[in-house]
Structure formats: C-alpha cells, structure tokens
Amino acid sequence: MYRPVMSSSPDISPAVTSALDSLASGQTPERLTLRDAVRALLARLAAMAPGRSVEVRVPPYGAIQCVEGPRHTRGTPPNLVETDPVTFLQLAAGRVDWAAAVADGRIRASGIRSDISSLFPIV
C-alpha cells in the first residue's frame, strides 16, 4: 500500500521516493504509486526541457512533449521515446544507463531528436 513519505527534497514527489525505495529493495512498486511517480517525473522532464519536438511515452501512465524544436501536431510524432514505467523510474534516478537501455530494447527511441540522454537523471 502506498504511504506518503517525507522526501529529502521538497521537489521530489512522495510517490517517486516510495517507488524508488520499493525498486531498491527488490520489490515492484504498487500500481498507484508507480503511476503517480511516473506522472510526477514526466511533469519534471517537461519543465526541464520545454518544447514540443519529442514525445516521451510511458504507457499506460502518461506521455509528454518536450524539447525545443519543430512542433509536432498530428499522427505519430517523428521524434519518439517510449519505455516502461520501471525503466523510466530507474532512468530518472540514474540507476540505469540510457545507452544500455536502448541497446537492450527497454527504451525505444526514434527520430533525429530522440536522444534525450542528456536530460537524465532528473532526480
């Protein structure tokens, strides 16, 4: 069960702290905790890299557009990054390497602007 925890930084959502603690102890975070953590981190990523040229998808919990450049408006975006929630949390916390996750298929990145590795870690 998700229990709010005081984080070490006021900028980090309690859900992020709880989800990362679960992963560090070898457990899978609860679904609602994972959802809230992913959404908080996606919001932080969008704030760090405002724009609409890259779409970052973390199904089933959320998607954002970020990074300055040509704006995407309809259909499948030309610059797309997609990953699962656990990989996204680990990437955001610096617990997984971007290149390794791309190489083993945990991150799917396509388009000339899709390498957003420089934006991580974000917590």
Residue 62, domain CATH: 3.30.1050.40
Domain that holds residue 34: 14-118
- The CA distances from residue 39 to 13, 78, 88, 98, in Å, are 10, 23, 11, 19
Whole-model pTM: value is 0.87
Give the model confidence (pLDDT) of 50-88 as tens digits: 999 999 999 999 999 999 987 766 667 789 999 999 999
17 Cα distance to chain centroid: 14
Name the domain count of the chain.
1
- Classify residue 2: in a domain, yes or no: no
- Classify residue 8: in a domain, yes or no: no
Q: What is the C-alpha to C-alpha distance for residues 98 and 103, in angstroms, rounded to an integer?
A: 9
- Classify residue 21: in a domain, yes or no: yes
- Classify residue 4: in a domain, yes or no: no
